[in-house]
């Protein structure tokens, strides 16, 4: 008997999440995917406008990434670690070449959270201090160290005690940041645009301000580019919008080309000095394995070759215009449309309206989701390889979903 995988998921993995999925009509089992599309087991096709939270910059199964991974699979998928892996070394060099000035060294893990863990440890080792300043609404992952920098009670409280010495300041507020830095501070961690926080774009000059302030106060700046990195916002990196070079930068989601999981913490040579005396200060059995590194090298090549940041900028502007027109048509439902490139957020009048729209969109075959730290905001992070026709397809579904939601709420809306 073909046991229903959704029932197995509900019984053995996550009953609470299963209920949430059921509520949005997504109690379905995925089957296969290609480019911007995903099919479930019943054969229904979805346009993937969530893109695994910014992972699928190249869409699903980009042929050049798949090909690179297959080639490496047939040669050597895992490194023995006591010899040097060529794809891993080449990837480190490639990242030094494409990231902002001075970020010459790399550490590889398997996820965004692991990239953040590495950044925390490097910042502490380099400065000899324990404290990290993070921002309200910030999301940096859910392993204990990263979770300590992700100030959301629902995630943090059941897992306490967390790392000591973490301070939280409002995002975009340089004065509060300056006040929070003290003699125990090792680093400030900040997303160039908050993703899970609800696609919050900081005020102009904020990233430059963080850079100047951290330099002046002798603490490190960690740019968490796990979601913004590699073209998503219309520039290769989110910090490029303000020409800022942080001391450490974390990457993950899109780095594996949507085919392999990989995370990276890149940084200044000086900050990585601890590895000289203590080569095993930090390590990971699978981090930066040859398969993942081959995928990342291919992903970077495609991103640069096809100038995907520029594409994200152009299509992002087109989508934004369409969404703002919908906001004008449905002012009682949509409060704001914002974002940069193909990292867009639609803020609804309340979270329940957003959830209804997500469900209506799913029914019409468009996948989206709300921000983990801000359920009023539905984010759109489609593959950067989409064309105008996909944007139009999503906008049409959006318009129909808003009509259906408005009808369903008739009499309740003010």
Cβ 263 to ligand PLP, closest distance in Å?
6
| Alpha carbons 267 and 106: distance in angstroms, whole number | 6
- For the chain, how big is the Rg over CA atoms in Å? 21
* Residue ranges in 252-311 that form contacts with ligand PLP under rule CB under 6 A: 252-253
Q: Which residues contact 313 (CB under 8 A, 6 or more apart)?
A: 234, 235, 341
Cβ 193 to ligand PLP, closest distance in Å?
9
Cβ 261 to ligand PLP, closest distance in Å?
7
Binding segment toward ligand PLP, per CB under 6 A, in 29-37, 38-46, 223-231, 287-295: 223-231
227 is a site residue for ligand PLP (CB under 6 A): yes
Instruction: Select from 333, 399, 311 the least CA-distant residue to 360.
Output: 399
* Residue ranges in 193-222 that form contacts with ligand PLP under rule CB under 6 A: 195
Residue 207 vs 402, nearer CB to ligand PLP:
207
Of 139, 272, 330, 348, the catalytic one is 139
Judged by CB under 6 A, the number of residues near ligand PLP is 15
368 is a site residue for ligand PLP (CB under 6 A): no
Give catalytic status of residue 253 as yes or no. yes
3-class secondary structure per residue, 164-228: CCEEEECCCCHHHHHHHCCCCEEEEEECCCECCCCCECCCCCHHHHHHHHHHHHCCEEEEECCCC
| Alpha carbons 12 and 5: distance in angstroms, whole number | 10
Of 48, 253, 330, 376, the catalytic one is 253
CB of 210 within 8 A of CB of 187? no
141 is a site residue for ligand PLP (CB under 6 A): yes
| Alpha carbons 234 and 238: distance in angstroms, whole number | 8
Cβ 197 to ligand PLP, closest distance in Å?
9
In the shown chain, the binding pattern of residues 31 to 70 toward ligand PLP, with x for contact by CB under 6 A and - for none, equals: ----------------------x-----------------
113 is a site residue for ligand PLP (CB under 6 A): yes
140 is a site residue for ligand PLP (CB under 6 A): yes
Binding segment toward ligand PLP, per CB under 6 A, in 68-76, 107-115, 332-340, 352-360: 107-115
381 is a site residue for ligand PLP (CB under 6 A): no
233 is a site residue for ligand PLP (CB under 6 A): no
145 is a site residue for ligand PLP (CB under 6 A): no
For residue 57, say if its preceding peptide bond is cis, omega within 30 degrees of 0.
no
Give catalytic status of residue 224 as yes or no. yes
Give catalytic status of residue 398 as yes or no. no
Please identify every residue annotated as catalytic. 139, 224, 253
The binding site for ligand PLP (CB under 6 A) comprises 53, 111-113, 116, 139-141, 191, 195, 224, 226-227, 252-253
């Amino acid at each position: 008997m073909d046991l229903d995988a959704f029932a197995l998921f509900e019984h053995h993995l996550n009953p609470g999440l299963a209920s949430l999925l059921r509520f949005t009509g997504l109690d379905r089992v995925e089957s296969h995917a290609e480019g911007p599309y995903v099919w479930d087991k019943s054969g229904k096709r979805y346009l993937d406008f969530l893109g695994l939270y910014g992972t699928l910059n190249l869409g699903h199964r980009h042929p050049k990434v798949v090909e690179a991974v297959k080639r490496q699979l047939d040669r050597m998928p895992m490194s023995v670690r006591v010899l040097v892996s060529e794809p891993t070394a080449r990837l480190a060099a490639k990242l030094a070449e494409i990231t902002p000035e001075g970020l010459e060294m790399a550490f590889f893990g398997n996820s965004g959270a692991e990239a953040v863990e590495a950044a925390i440890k490097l910042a502490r080792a380099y400065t000899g201090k324990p404290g990290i300043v993070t921002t309200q609404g910030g999301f940096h992952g859910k392993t204990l160290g990263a979770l300590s920098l992700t100030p959301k009670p629902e995630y943090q409280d059941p897992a306490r005690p967390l790392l000591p010495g973490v301070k939280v300041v409002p995002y975009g507020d340089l004065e509060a940041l300056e006040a929070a830095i003290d003699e125990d501070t090792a680093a400030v961690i900040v997303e160039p645009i908050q993703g899970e926080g609800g696609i919050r774009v900081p005020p102009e000059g904020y990233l430059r301000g963080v850079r100047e302030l951290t330099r002046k106060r002798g603490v490190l700046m960690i740019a968490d580019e796990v979601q913004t990195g590699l073209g998503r916002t219309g520039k290769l990196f989110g910090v490029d919008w303000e020409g800022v070079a942080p001391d450490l930068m974390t990457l993950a989601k899109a780095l594996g080309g949507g085919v392999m999981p990989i995370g990276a913490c890149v940084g200044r040579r000086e900050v990585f000095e601890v590895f000289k005396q203590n080569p095993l200060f930090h390590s990971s059995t699978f981090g930066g394995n040859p398969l993942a590194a081959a995928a990342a090298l291919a992903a970077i090549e495609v991103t640069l070759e096809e100038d995907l940041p520029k594409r994200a900028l152009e299509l992002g502007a087109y989508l934004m215009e369409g969404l703002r027109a919908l906001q004008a048509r449905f002012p009682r439902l949509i409060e704001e449309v914002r974002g940069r490139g193909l990292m867009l957020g639609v803020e609804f009048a309340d979270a329940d309206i957003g959830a209804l729209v997500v469900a209506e969109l799913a029914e019409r075959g468009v996948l989206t989701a709300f921000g983990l730290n801000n359920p009023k905001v539905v984010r759109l992070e489609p593959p950067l390889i989409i064309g105008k026709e996909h944007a139009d397809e999503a906008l049409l579904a959006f318009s129909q979903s808003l009509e259906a939601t408005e009808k369903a709420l008739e009499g309740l809306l003010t």
